[in-house]
Structures are given as structure tokens and as C-alpha cells.
Amino acid sequence: MALLAALHFLTDNNMNTSTAPKGRGPLGKSEMRLAYSMILPTLLIVLSIVLLPLLANFWISFKPVQLGDLRAPSVIANERIRPAPTAVGDTADVSYRLRNSSQKGAITDIQFKDELPAGLTLAGELDSRCQLQGASLSCDLGDYEPGFRETLKVPVTATQIYIDNPDNPRASKPQIEGTADNILTNNQFTLENFKKVFSADEFWLVLRVSLYYTVFGTIGALVFGLFAAQLLSTTFPGRGVLRGFFLFPYVAPVIAVAFAWVLLLDAGPGGTLNAILLKIGAVDGPVNFLGQRAVPFTVFGFTFKFPVALTTVISFEVWRYFPLSFLFILARMQSMSSETYEAAEIDGATPLQQFWYISLPQLAGILAVLFLLRFIWTFNKFDDIFLLTGGAAGTRTLTVDVYEQAFAVSNLGAGAAVAVVVFVVLLLSALLFFKFSPQDDG
């Protein structure tokens, strides 16, 4: 999606600044074919990396897949010799405890093969489904229903060969083959995952929280990035060092900065921010910034609920990712002509008027692209919220819900269905951007 936005932006600029030829000659067509042939391998690799997981997610979203269904049903065997022979002529049973690993899927046409330990001879009747040729045991076990268990016994007598090699009683591991239906690859499809997602009351709340978090986090990052770029676009001593400090939130490891924020905002006695607020008398008691859902407050007779934890998470998002916007905006501002600003200053334009009528129109294109990129990345954001609150206290977004459904509840199908909803929302957002985004005038 980010690549499409960048290509859209660059294509529009090229179309605005140059005139495309009306036709192509033989040389132009040859160059075009050569260019396509050179870029085709890279394009195929990128498409495979992007499309294959996306198609797999759509496939799973229509499947009743649980976490335990990732592996197809199989027969699990545990071999034992009881009682262990200690002298020549002792009798024992070579026991195979067999079970179907799945509680849902059956296994058909099960073929069992194994080599008995050297020095053991048959001492009784075999199971009617089995045959023994020398030391080779083969059995046709038929079908196993879901959860089926049984014990297969082979009565044997120990000889001197076995007594002389007591440290290696098992000659080989049992070889088991069977046919089982794999829910991931069969033709069984269902809409139950989507019905479960959309019928849940919490889904719409989570969707609202996701949009609230994404919109305010994106706008906040752009506004602070624009403000920082304005501050650091002029020349002054130490500007390079200050620019480096501004990049620290973005380049620092997320787990480190998230842990630092948790310590700063802790509601306990170790919380730095609460200690400062209590010291200056700003609050009557500690504020649980990361664990309190909402605080009611009244304005002009109307009572509102202020989302404490969600606002804290949005603040972290803005603080961590405004440097990216700052870099893009600053690069665009450095390419603007200073003559326009000099002429405006001579005409008596104030700094605010210069920003509003000169800078902002030229920054509109890059701001639009940044908004789309930040909207997509913020809507997909998982690690920040999970590290700070774990999705509690009203901060559960759709990406956190994907994790909860797929791994906490072990319902991979429902998790994939939520991921499809995320994809659709982002796709619609990108289409709206391409239709209504402003063009860069620079």
C-alpha cells in the first residue's frame, strides 16, 4: 500500500511537470520491453511476498480452523516392553500404545510397521490385523475415529542375544501411514467466522477504538512533525545535534521506550509522572494512566468521559512516530525556493501568512502521502498497544483482537476474519486517498 501511494505521488508529479509523448517509436517500445523484463523478477518476488500471505489469510478466514488444526490428524505411538526380560526364556509384551492425535478428524487406512528388537521371538498369538515375518511386524489397523486409543501387544520370549544387549531394547521407531482430512486444504468453507465477528457487540466498540486511535495518532504525528520541521528548517548553532535528538523516539527499540513509559506512568510509588503531579498538587491521588478506562468531567453542564488509557497510548504513538513525518516534511521544505519567501516578506506578509499561503500549499502533497502511510501503519499497529496496556482499559484495537482471537482463544479462523476486516478498511482508505488527495504544487 505504501508503494502504491509513493508511485501515485511520483506519477502525478511527473505528469504535472512534463509532457508525455503521444506515441512510441520502435526504439521506445524496445526500451519499454527491456525495462519490463528487467523489473519483472523483482516484481514477481514482491508480489509473492505480499500476495501469498494475503491469499492464505483470506483462505483461512473461511475455514473453521482452530489452533490445534494446524497439524493434520496423525497416529501417535508409544512403544514399551513390559515386564523387562532379565534372563533367557523370560516372556514379555512389546506394547504399542496408539492414539489418534485429533479429537475432530478421523484417520483411515492405517498401516503400521516396526522392527522387533533383536533376540525376541514370538511367544503367542498375534493380533488378527498383524503379520510377523522374521523381526518385521506389519499391521493393517483400519480406521481410527477422532480421539480413538488402543494398545497393540506382541507376546515375545527373550533369547541370549537380547540379554546380551539390554541397553538398546528398541530396534527402530514405528512407521505409521494413514489418510486424514486436513481442514486447511479441504473444500469445506464457512461464513461462521465472519458471523461470529460481526455479531459480537465488542467488535463495533473495537472498530471505533481503532479508528479513534488511528485518526488522532496519525494527525498528531503529522502536526508535531510539521511543527518540528518548521523549528529546524532555519539555520542556528547546534541544529544538527538537535535534529539527531528529534530522531531518537523513532530509532530507539520499541520495547525499551515502551518499558520506559510504563515506568514513568506507573500508578504506584515508583511512577515518576505521578510523583511530580502529587508534589505540585495537580492531582489528589495517583492517576492510572495505563489502566484507567475513562474519567468523567463536566463542561457547560454536559458530562463527558475522557479516555485516559487510550489517550496515553495515542500520545505514545505521536511521540514515537512524529520524527518520520518531521524527516519527510523537512526534506520537502529544504527544496522550496527562498525567493518566494523573500518577495512575500518584502510585501509585508507575516510568518503565519507565509506558512499558510506559501508553505502549506507546497507541502499538501507530501502531507497527504504521509497521512496515508501513517494511517495504514497506525491502524496495523500492534506492538505499542500490547506492550503498554495489553489491549486493556479500552485500548483494544482490531490488531490486538486478531491476536486475541487467533492465539488467546485459539480460533485462527476468527482471527483471520478480523484481519480481513482490517485489510478492507485499509483498502477503502487507500482508494479514498487516491481519489481525493491533493497534489503537490512544488
Is domain 73-180 annotated with CATH 2.60.40.290? yes
Asked whether residue 290 carries a pLDDT value surpassing 80, the answer given is yes
Q: Are the C-beta atoms of 122 and 154 separated by less than 8 Å?
A: yes
Length of the chain: 442
pLDDT for 142: 94
Domain 194-436 superfamily per CATH: MetI-like (1.10.3720.10)
pLDDT for 16: 46
Q: What angle do CA 392, 371, 39 make, to 5 degrees?
A: 110
- pLDDT grade for 440, boundaries at 50, 70 and 90: low
Average pLDDT over the chain reads 86
- pLDDT grade for 109, boundaries at 50, 70 and 90: very high
Q: Are the C-beta atoms of 105 and 73 separated by less than 8 Å?
A: yes
Asked whether residue 18 carries a pLDDT value surpassing 80, the answer given is no
Please name which of 227, 232, 230 lies closest in space to residue 243, comparing C-alpha atoms: 232
DSSP 151: E
**Integer CA distances (angstroms), 284 to 36, 278, 298, in order:** 67, 7, 18
pLDDT for 171: 60
pLDDT for 311: 95
Specify the 3-state DSSP secondary structure of 207. Answer: helix
Cα 219 off chain centre by:
23
Domain ranges of the chain: 73-180, 194-436
List the grid coordinates of 14.
511527473
pTM for the model: 0.75
Residue 186, classified by CB atoms within 10 Å of its CB into exposed (0-12), middle (13-18) or buried (19+), is exposed
Q: Are the C-beta atoms of 414 and 196 separated by less than 8 Å?
A: yes
Q: Is 134 left (phi over 0), alpha (psi -120 to 50) or beta?
A: left
Concatenated DSSP letters for 94-108? EEEEEEES-SS--EE
Distance CA 403, CA 419 (A): 10
**Integer CA distances (angstroms), 231 to 53, 90, 151, in order:** 42, 91, 78
pLDDT for 11: 45
pLDDT for 58: 92
Residues in a beta bridge with 150: 98
First CA to last CA distance, the chain: 24
β-bridge pairing 91-100 and 149-158: antiparallel
- For cell 526380560, what's the residue? 85
pLDDT for 242: 87
- pLDDT grade for 21, boundaries at 50, 70 and 90: very low
Q: In what order do the strands lie in the sheet with 175-180?
A: 130-133, 136-144, 107-115, 175-180
Asked whether residue 140 carries a pLDDT value surpassing 60, the answer given is yes
Distance CA 191, CA 414 (A): 10
Domains 73-180 and 194-436 in one fold: no
Distance CA 37, CA 29 (A): 12
pLDDT for 170: 59
